[in-house]
Amino acid sequence: MAFDADSVKFGRRGLLAGGGALGLTGVLAACGGGDDETSEDSADSGPWEFTDDRGETTELDAVPTKIVAFTGMAAALYDFGIEIPAVYGPTTNEDGSPTTQAGNLPVADLEVFGNVYGEFDVEAYAAYGPEAMFTHFYIDPASLWYVPAETSADITSLAPVTALSANDEGLSNTLDQVIGRHAELAESLGADLDSDENVANKERYDAAVEALKAAAAANPVKVLACAAAADTFYASSPLMGNDTRFFMELGVDIIVPDALDEATGSYFEFLSWENVDKYQADLLLLDNRVQSLQPDQLTEFPTWTALPAVQEGQIVGWEAEPMYSYGLAAASIEALAEAITNAKKLF
């Protein structure tokens, strides 16, 4: 099968969902507030109000258009019909192509304030004069996704922040609910959820969910969610992802590793490459983000190539930071349903 992978070098700390951010190398300098002009459309759009998943309400005199969003959130909003002009987070690969997290975003047209984990050009952001920032958080609402901790106060002082929960405190929200919240945000910004395109995307998503449920019931293979680095194989806990929690609700049998690393939030069990065969998985759900090595990069790892699932080609790309629109999520759910349908029981 073809893999939607981003061919850039792996950065280990970027795998830690919900973890701390790396430091910026730049120093915040005094900057102006940027362009104060407001488009006529924005001025005529009336007041805007939205309460985020931290319980914080942003109120503006007009619907914001000069928005800066985490790349994955911008991709979701774009799919619902809202154009986000500026982003931060993994947006382009070394060759300028979109990363997996950029979805259908027109990346060449975007202002990008940071393209890798821990990078955020605060001076450029301040000069841009954002009206609003949109991002996610994992469990801790004070830790904004891809916003470096050491410059967070400077960044969040420049524009109101709307944050949606990718993982709530009880680890109970699922992909379905998180997409719903993105739909609500998009609608508040002017998206027509009843448009032909949005209705078609929702119908495709619903069909994909039913297909996955049917596949899991008909062929109950064991699935391992995982990621790969040069020195470590990560066996991921499905309890820590809103998508994998949802897949388990639909009946997918995803292995829960038995030695999760509590120091890093119990997201993974760290395995040496000598022990990569610890879990008997019929199908590998492999992280396809820029941080993780992909199958074509793993061919020189003998313990990887010896895995029965690898030998049978039973690997499917996993958006470990899911895409939160119905159209984008449908594609990944369809791929998993097809992979399960076609997988052989190996153990």
Q: Kindly list the domain boundaries of the chain, sorted by start residue.
A: 23-195, 199-342
Q: What residues have CB less than 8 Å from 194, skipping those under 6 apart?
A: none
Q: What is the CATH number of domain 23-195?
A: 3.40.50.1980
Model pLDDT for residues 295-322, shown as the tens digit of each residue: 999 999 999 999 999 999 999 999 999 9
Q: What is the pTM of this model?
A: 0.86
Q: Can you give the pLDDT at residue 39?
A: 37
Model pLDDT for residues 41-50, shown as the tens digit of each residue: 444 468 999 9
Model pLDDT for residues 144-162, shown as the tens digit of each residue: 999 999 999 999 999 999 9
Q: Are strands 57-60 and 48-51 parallel, antiparallel or unpaired?
A: antiparallel
Q: What angle do CA 316, 286, 201 make, to 5 degrees?
A: 55
- Share above pLDDT 90 across residues of the chain, in percent, rounded to a whole number: 86
Amino acid (1-letter code) at residue 252: V
Q: Are strands 48-51 and 222-228 parallel, antiparallel or unpaired?
A: unpaired
Q: Say yes or no: do domains 23-195 and 199-342 share a fold.
A: yes
Q: Kindly provide the residue ranges of all beta strands, DSSP E only, lying in 82-123, ordered along the sequence.
A: 86-88, 111-112
Architecture of the structural domain at 199-342: 3-Layer(aba) Sandwich (3.40)
Residue 31 has pLDDT above 70, yes or no: no
Q: What's the token pair of residue 237? A: 């806990």
pLDDT band, very low/low/confident/very high, at 106 (cuts 50, 70, 90): very high
